[in-house]
Amino acid sequence: MNEATLERGLNAFREQVDAPVAAFFSSCVSCGLCAEACLFYTETGDPKYTPIRKLEPLRRVWEQEYTLIGRVKKVLGLVEPVTDELLQEWQELLYDSCTMCARCSLVCPVGNDIAYMVRKAREGMVASGNSPTDVQAAAERAVRIGSPMGVRYKALAAQIQHIEADTGLVIPVDQVGADYMPLLSSMEVINFPEYIESLARIFQHAGLSWTLCSDAFEATNTGIQIGSSDIARELVQRIVDGAERLQVKYVIAPECGHAYTSIRWDGPDLIGRRFPFKVLHILELLDELRVSGRLKTEKPSAERITFHDPCSIGRKGGVIDSPRRLLGLVSSNFVEMKDHGTWNWCCGGGGGVSANTDAEALRTRVFRRKKDQIEETGASKLITACANCRLVIEEGLEAYNVELPMEGLTELVAHHLVED
């Protein structure tokens, strides 16, 4: 990567200004309602966390260079420039206290998509050298090793061997011509290998041909989180290369929020062409299998369960109804949280926040919102569909001394399959 400088940062901000950004900044009347949608404000009461305020550096670049009056003001010296000091101060606001959950984008009365702009503003922060060191290190590992957590294929191969030995299931790797190529997140490889076992169980049960790819199994994309399209592009390209090498028809995004954003929505734009395969989230695939009658499940269980919508999959990804239909398949006692689906509250660890130690204390503090939301349901188990949400919620609940078992929805479905 090029050396980060203020000038490069300013150029990156400039490149990010498009018609929506200009329309959004032109429309803001400083009403402050976005603060009420942001858990970093609602849980701390600190107005500095107001979402639109987090965009001040990008706003200045837009005003001073993309509006007539701003250019005049700049010539007359009537504007405050974007400086290194400003960007340093804003690092906390653009990274530690924003998960890009996009709840603010949902409440803005003039319709500003604030999360869209935070993602863009982060490009300027990376280029100017003002992104958190932890996330930078994770991005560097992702590029060099292939995984932000430093997980190599060796580690995955070991997990595959364990699972195959324990269960007798077969986990195909690098099978050219298979239909489905599921991706994984490092967290699933290390913390939740149950997910891989569940995939194997489901594919076998449904009789589908599938394969993992040894050089394109990692779905997470630190480039998307930190705000570097260069890194994001490289990581997406690896997946596309893997999928094209194996000639698969479908790439399946795992239980990981931003991985879905990266491969499903941003991927084709990053590499500049359409994919020759379809991208589905695992929950979308499971729901399709349900519809086509390929999932035979046992009687629904009566345990009271609730569901946490990962922001990138639900509010930002449109996978909202499929998890509900799957939950209905396996549970007769599913209860919604008060604000759910599009309106769900973030776990507080998305958008790279969970990988950022600077944000740890704040993240635990604002987790109270999620904790209260979960407790209100009276559920004895929490289901979700994102390994990162799951770890963040587990840690959060522990910090608040709440004991509540959690499970991924794919795993839950796999457990309810009728044994052949």
Partner 1 sequence: MNDAMDFLLWARGTAFDVALTIFIIGVIIRLFEILSLGRPRSLAEPKGNQLLPGMKSVISRTLPDNGTFKRQPLTVIAGYLFHIGLLISLLLFIPHIELFNATVGFGWPGLPNPIVDAATVIAITGLLAALWNRLTNPVMKLLSDKEDYLVWLLTFLPLLTGYLAYHRMIEPYPLALGLHILSIELLLILFPFTKLMHTFTLFLARWYNGAMSGFRGVQS
For partner 1, the binding residues (CB under 8 A) are 17-24, 26-33, 35-37, 41-42, 45, 47-48, 50, 52-53, 66-69, 105-113, 116, 264-269, 272-275, 278-279, 315-318, 320, 339, 342-343
Minimal distance, residue 54 CB to partner 1, in Å: 11
Q: Choose between 96 and 266: whose C-beta lies nearer to partner 1.
A: 266
Q: Choose between 110 and 170: whose C-beta lies nearer to partner 1.
A: 110
Minimal distance, residue 30 CB to partner 1, in Å: 4
Q: Choose between 104 and 178: whose C-beta lies nearer to partner 1.
A: 104
Q: Choose between 45 and 293: whose C-beta lies nearer to partner 1.
A: 45
Minimal distance, residue 301 CB to partner 1, in Å: 30
Minimal distance, residue 27 CB to partner 1, in Å: 4
Q: Choose between 272 and 378: whose C-beta lies nearer to partner 1.
A: 272
Q: What's the token pair of residue 275?
A: 């994919």
Q: Choose between 67 and 175: whose C-beta lies nearer to partner 1.
A: 67
Minimal distance, residue 332 CB to partner 1, in Å: 28
Minimal distance, residue 217 CB to partner 1, in Å: 22
